[in-house]
């Protein structure tokens, strides 16, 4: 089906779906500053071919969804959670399998804790515990030095209106966050160009998610998650090192951890789809029983 614009609360979200609406719904939740393009059509189609109704969408300030001036997001992290639930309502989906990467994984955890009736299963990719952790929990490993340097002494932003400069910067950032199994340069450039050309305001997309007010803490803990949970985590993630995925698998009852060799902090690259797709298909089978 073609992309369509769906009103959700005070925003309008650009949505794309794959497969039969009568099949179990899989809602893909994206990471910060990334449009739904990073959920590649071939990836979505493979899930749909396995009997899933796959929904991907642009968060606020990404792709074609509602955007705000760069540096002035008119919403909070709570609104991104509400948007996901509102989108399910708008599509007539009572209960979905949530698949979230990075920030999307945090959103998925919050929904699973605070709205368990809406979640059939949970797949957490390259993310970190979102709710407060016990005082005696093992500390999480810090980001790699290259990531600390990137945020501690950030490179000046290019002129985001300059298509070539913006694409160059996005390709470099993908490589910085990636691992040895990440997208090749040509694939990354094709992806970056597609993202740029679909985005209403690229400056806003690369700025606003990073400065959001997250809102109040999640009301609960990882131990409260009852949905069957799959944790997919790259062995070379420089932003949330593997210990973050191990913590999720340890602290969510019954969770299963599947390490992704050579993967960094990124959407699963095609090199590991033979691992990722069967694992997601298994956890989203029927009522999410693996």
The average confidence (pLDDT) of the chain is 96
Name the band, by pLDDT with cuts 50, 70 and 90, for residue 154. confident
Predicted confidence at residue 265, as pLDDT, reads 98
Predicted confidence at residue 288, as pLDDT, reads 43
The torsion angles phi and psi of 14, rounded to 5 degrees, stand at -85, 125
User: Tell me: the pLDDT tens digits for 10-50?
Assistant: 999 999 999 999 999 999 999 999 999 999 999 999 999 99
Average pLDDT over residues 135-153: 95
| Residues 230 and 280 sit within 8 Å (Cβ to Cβ) | yes
Name the band, by pLDDT with cuts 50, 70 and 90, for residue 287. low
Q: What whole-number distance in Å separates Cα of residue 88 and Cα of residue 81?
A: 11
Q: What whole-number distance in Å separates Cα of residue 207 and Cα of residue 226?
A: 34
Q: Is the pLDDT of residue 74 over 90?
A: yes
User: Tell me: the pLDDT tens digits for 249-269?
Assistant: 999 999 999 999 999 999 999
Per CATH, the number for 4-283 is 3.40.50.1820
Give the residue among 68, 11, 6, 63 at the shortest CA–CA distance from 37. Answer: 63
| Residues 121 and 227 sit within 8 Å (Cβ to Cβ) | yes
Q: What whole-number distance in Å separates Cα of residue 47 and Cα of residue 41?
A: 10
Q: What is the pTM for the complete model shown?
A: 0.97
> Hey, is 288 helix, strand or coil?
coil
Average pLDDT over residues 155-165: 96
pLDDT over 90, % of the chain? 95
Name the residue with higher pLDDT: 279 or 289. 279
Instruction: Give start and end residues of each alpha helix (H) in the chain.
Output: 41-49, 77-90, 103-114, 145-152, 163-177, 185-198, 202-205, 242-251, 273-283
| Residues 28 and 63 sit within 8 Å (Cβ to Cβ) | no
Spell out the domain ranges in the chain. Answer: 4-283
Predicted confidence at residue 2, as pLDDT, reads 83
Max mean pLDDT among 55-64, 132-141, 211-220 falls in 55-64
For residue 28 the two structure tokens come to: 């893909």
Name the band, by pLDDT with cuts 50, 70 and 90, for residue 1. low
Q: Is the pLDDT of residue 169 over 90?
A: yes
Average pLDDT over residues 216-229: 96
Q: Is the pLDDT of residue 106 over 90?
A: yes
Predicted confidence at residue 233, as pLDDT, reads 98
132: DSSP letter: -
Give the residue among 55, 69, 64, 56 at the shortest CA–CA distance from 11. Answer: 64
| Residues 205 and 235 sit within 8 Å (Cβ to Cβ) | no
Predicted confidence at residue 290, as pLDDT, reads 35
Q: What whole-number distance in Å separates Cα of residue 207 and Cα of residue 209?
A: 6
Mind telling me the catalytic residues? 102, 237, 265
Q: What whole-number distance in Å separates Cα of residue 26 and Cα of residue 98?
A: 6
């Amino acid at each position: 089906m073609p992309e369509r614009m769906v009103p959700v609360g005070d925003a309008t979200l650009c949505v794309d779906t794959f497969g039969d609406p009568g099949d179990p719904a899989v809602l893909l939740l994206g990471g910060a500053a990334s449009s739904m393009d990073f959920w590649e059509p071939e990836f979505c189609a493979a899930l749909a071919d396995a009997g899933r109704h796959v929904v991907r969408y642009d968060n606020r300030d990404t792709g074609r969804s509602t955007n705000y001036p760069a540096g002035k997001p008119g919403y909070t992290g709570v609104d991104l959670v509400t948007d996901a639930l509102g989108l399910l309502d708008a599509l007539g989906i009572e209960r979905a399998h949530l698949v979230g990467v990075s920030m999307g994984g945090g959103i998925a955890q919050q929904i699973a804790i605070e709205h368990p009736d809406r979640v059939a299963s949970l797949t957490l990719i390259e993310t970190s515990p979102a709710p407060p952790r016990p005082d005696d929990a093992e500390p999480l490993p810090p980001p790699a030095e290259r990531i600390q340097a990137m945020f501690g002494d950030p490179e000046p932003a290019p002129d985001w209106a300059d298509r070539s400069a913006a694409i160059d910067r996005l390709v470099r950032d993908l490589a910085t966050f990636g691992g040895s199994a990440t997208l090749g340069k040509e694939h990354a450039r094709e992806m970056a160009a597609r993202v740029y050309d679909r985005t209403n305001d690229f400056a806003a997309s690369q700025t606003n998610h990073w400065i959001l007010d997250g809102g109040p803490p999640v009301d609960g803990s990882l131990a409260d998650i009852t949905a069957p949970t799959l944790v997919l985590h790259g062995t070379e993630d420089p932003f949330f090192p593997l210990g973050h995925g191990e913590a999720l698998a340890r602290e969510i009852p019954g969770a299963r951890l599947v390490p992704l060799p050579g993967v960094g902090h990124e959407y699963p690259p095609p090199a590991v789809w033979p691992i990722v797709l069967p694992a997601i298909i298994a956890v989203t089978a029927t009522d999410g029983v693996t």
